[in-house]
Structure 1
Amino acid sequence: MFTTTLKSVLHHARYFPLWSALTVFRWRAFDSRSRGLGTTLAMVMRWFPPARRRFDREAKKVFPNMKRSARAKLGQNMGRHMGRTLFELYHDAEFQTQHHKFRTSGPGLAVLKEANAVGKGAIIVSGHFGQWEAIRAVIKMHGMESGGVYRPHNNRHYARRILAGIEAGGKPILATGRVGTRALVSHLRGGGIISILLDEKQADGVRIPFLGLDALTSLSAAQLALKYDLPMIPAYGIRIDDGNAFRVVFETPIPHTDSITMTRAFNDSLSARIIANPEQWYWMLKRWDDVAMSE
């Protein structure tokens, strides 16, 4: 009983700062509220040592020669982008309606439409880069709908708000795990579209280079694409125009070869996007920790 109560109190305490920030800005217009939370998280990255150190540790691995001041600026810019992304996730229903913000390009969208027209499923692969919900917004704009895979947050307050937000972007939203995997297979076999973020650490994954460093990476998306003969399409929602608009790029589908080669092709694709816009990737994922632990 005491443990449960303490856990509940801690969840409330950890959620309170974000709730406060969202409440302070709620009377403003959508873009102003988005910028407000972005500014708040940029300040966190500047003045909150644990967050600053965690970012610095990861960024140093990829940019060992970057000056400390440049890394500090990169961390603050990442916080600004991720604050806006978090706000948009929490208010996804409203975000999805802002069609004027989305500028679409790339051959992958036509492939997706063709697959959907004949009742064939498809897998969209992306990462915690830019605004990934912009991808599903564009899919919905074109008369389709993409479900998503997510890892439930340990804090029930975050989990509830995030789930409610991303469900507005398309269904089904499937939690990671055995039950979610069965539902995912059923959805794809029934001609559904699913969006998967492939840049989280996977303890049971395979070592594949990511940003020049080995990272344990899930092969699940490629394995599903091969098993059910589905297109695997890298897609990205890149912030432009001072963060107020998005260039949504649907790249050429990854050729079907084997799961490791295909997953490596995706890692290379995402790595190139991050190198071009490093402030738009969420560096706090501890992406390479599993490799270090397994050595």
Structure 2
Amino acid sequence: MAKRSQNFGHWVSNLAIRGFLGFMNLLPYELRLHVTGLAMSRVVAPLSGARRRIRANLALIMPDLSPDEVHRIVLDVPYHMGRSVMELYAERAFADRIRARALEDSPGLAALEQARAEGRGIILISGHIGNYDAVRAALEGRGFSVGGLYKPMKNPYFNAHYVKALSRFGAPVFERSRRGMAAMVKFLRGGGTVGIIFDQRINKAPLLNFMGKPARTALSAAELALKYDALLVPCYGVRKPDGSFDLIIEPPVPHSTPEAMTQALNDSLERQVYTHPEQWMWTHNRWKKAGNDTPDDR
């Protein structure tokens, strides 16, 4: 009975979400992104407690910000998150716009092109800043086959169309499970390109520095790069005021040790977050269980 009730709840919530997304897709592209961002910032964020966590993380990491700057970031972070959600479900509109963008000025592009020509695997690394799917879409437009690693949603109905939406920006996509990881490794070993978001806390992972504080950070991406001689490349899709993106592909991280390579990834993302704090997902309890005495530890 409990399982049947849960399934019904998943079905109802998915129906509501699909209805909202379907209605929003009737609006002009820019308007639907703006409205979804406002809904996330002004309605969802205060109800979910996201504003509290953003403030707590900013107080820990950027304590010298003025009250006005904190207020701006507290409003802007969920706004940008809402835009990213709507971009994911904007059918082909978002992907088609991104594919028209040039990448020639990205310092790491030549290394990607060479690795593809050599049949060498590539691991693209990004974080929850701007819209990381922008780089996947741009590279797919240049002929790359960019797979993605994702965490399955608890709601199976929602997960089905979530995976379909992810696939618009590159394929195949691999769920974060034993079977999914095995398929991803096979794809990587065959010279494929895989995108991984690495900036969430992994309990019991090693402590590395992130924005001046210890943070639990998984070494798995660097370990994969070393084991399968793959490039490890930081990349970002950072929003511009006009709604377009700066597509950044950095030079590959040199192979050394998993710890040193992962620290380099943390340092790369840190530079982006300090430059664009309003675009990073401060809602995540990134510094929990790392000796920082965050509110979630108490």
TM-score (normalizing by structure 2): 0.90
Q: Judge conservation of contact 1:151–1:176 (CA < 8 Å) in 2.
A: yes
Give the whole-Å Cα distance in 1 for the aligned partners of 2:231 and 2:274.
Answer: 26
Deviations along 1:133-156, one digit per CA (max 9) or x if unpaired, are 111011112111200111112233
Secondary structure at 2:55 match in 1: helix
Gap change, CA 1:217 and 1:22, over 3 Å in 2 = same
Instruction: Using the TM superposition, give the Cα deviation of residue 212 of structure 1 relative to its aligned residue in structure 2, in angstroms.
Output: 1.5
Alignment size in residue pairs = 293
Matched, 1:131 2:131: yes
Gap change, CA 1:207 and 1:114, over 3 Å in 2 = same
More divergent stretch after superposition (63-72 vs 107-116): 63-72
**Aligned ranges 1:145-224 → 2 under 5 Å:** 145-224=145-224
Give the whole-Å Cα distance in 1 for the aligned partners of 2:224 and 2:246.
Answer: 28
Q: For residue 261 of structure 2, what is the aligned residue in structure 1? A: 262
Matched, 1:272 2:237: no
Q: Judge conservation of contact 2:77–2:280 (CA < 8 Å) in 1.
A: yes
Instruction: Using the TM superposition, give the Cα deviation of residue 256 of structure 1 relative to its aligned residue in structure 2, in angstroms.
Output: 0.8
Give the whole-Å Cα distance in 1 for the aligned partners of 2:16 and 2:67.
Answer: 28
**Runs of 5+ consecutive residues of structure 1 not aligned to the other structure:** none
Gap change, CA 1:216 and 1:50, over 3 Å in 2 = same
Gap change, CA 1:130 and 1:120, over 3 Å in 2 = same
Q: For residue 231 of structure 1, what is the aligned residue in structure 2? A: 231
Deviations along 1:31-67, one digit per CA (max 9) or x if unpaired, are 2211111121121266436222122222222122334
TM-score (normalizing by structure 1): 0.91
**Runs of 5+ consecutive residues of structure 2 not aligned to the other structure:** none
Q: For residue 250 of structure 2, what is the aligned residue in structure 1? A: 251
Secondary structure at 1:102 match in 2: coil
Give the whole-Å Cα distance in 2 for the aligned partners of 1:77 and 1:101.
Answer: 27
AA of the residue aligned to 1:108: G
Instruction: Using the TM superposition, give the Cα deviation of residue 216 of structure 1 relative to its aligned residue in structure 2, in angstroms.
Output: 0.9
Instruction: Using the TM superposition, give the Cα deviation of residue 132 of structure 1 relative to its aligned residue in structure 2, in angstroms.
Output: 0.5
Give the whole-Å Cα distance in 2 for the aligned partners of 1:166 and 1:143.
Answer: 17
Give the whole-Å Cα distance in 2 for the aligned partners of 1:251 and 1:273.
Answer: 12
Q: For residue 71 of structure 1, what is the aligned residue in structure 2? A: 70
Q: Judge conservation of contact 1:201–1:290 (CA < 8 Å) in 2.
A: no
Gap change, CA 1:187 and 1:282, over 3 Å in 2 = same
Deviations along 1:50-97, one digit per CA (max 9) or x if unpaired, are 222122222222122334443232121111111110111123533211
Q: Judge conservation of contact 2:40–2:79 (CA < 8 Å) in 1.
A: yes
Q: For residue 53 of structure 2, what is the aligned residue in structure 1? A: 54
Give the whole-Å Cα distance in 2 for the aligned partners of 1:18 and 1:58.
Answer: 29
Percent sequence identity is 32
More divergent stretch after superposition (273-282 vs 102-111): 102-111
AA of the residue aligned to 1:152: P
Instruction: Using the TM superposition, give the Cα deviation of residue 290 of structure 1 relative to its aligned residue in structure 2, in angstroms.
Output: 3.5
Q: Judge conservation of contact 1:21–1:37 (CA < 8 Å) in 2.
A: no
Q: Judge conservation of contact 1:145–1:193 (CA < 8 Å) in 2.
A: yes
Give the whole-Å Cα distance in 2 for the aligned partners of 1:283 and 1:122.
Answer: 28
Gap change, CA 1:273 and 1:97, over 3 Å in 2 = same
AA of the residue aligned to 1:54: R
Gap change, CA 1:294 and 1:68, over 3 Å in 2 = closer
AA of the residue aligned to 1:117: A
AA of the residue aligned to 1:44: V
Instruction: Using the TM superposition, give the Cα deviation of residue 101 of structure 1 relative to its aligned residue in structure 2, in angstroms.
Output: 6.1
Secondary structure at 2:179 match in 1: helix
Instruction: Using the TM superposition, give the Cα deviation of residue 177 of structure 1 relative to its aligned residue in structure 2, in angstroms.
Output: 2.4
Q: For residue 89 of structure 1, what is the aligned residue in structure 2? A: 88
AA of the residue aligned to 1:189: R
Secondary structure at 1:254 match in 2: coil
Instruction: Using the TM superposition, give the Cα deviation of residue 229 of structure 1 relative to its aligned residue in structure 2, in angstroms.
Output: 1.4
Q: Judge conservation of contact 2:236–2:247 (CA < 8 Å) in 1.
A: yes
Deviations along 1:264-283, one digit per CA (max 9) or x if unpaired, are 00000001100100111111
Q: Judge conservation of contact 2:131–2:237 (CA < 8 Å) in 1.
A: yes
Instruction: Using the TM superposition, give the Cα deviation of residue 184 of structure 1 relative to its aligned residue in structure 2, in angstroms.
Output: 1.5
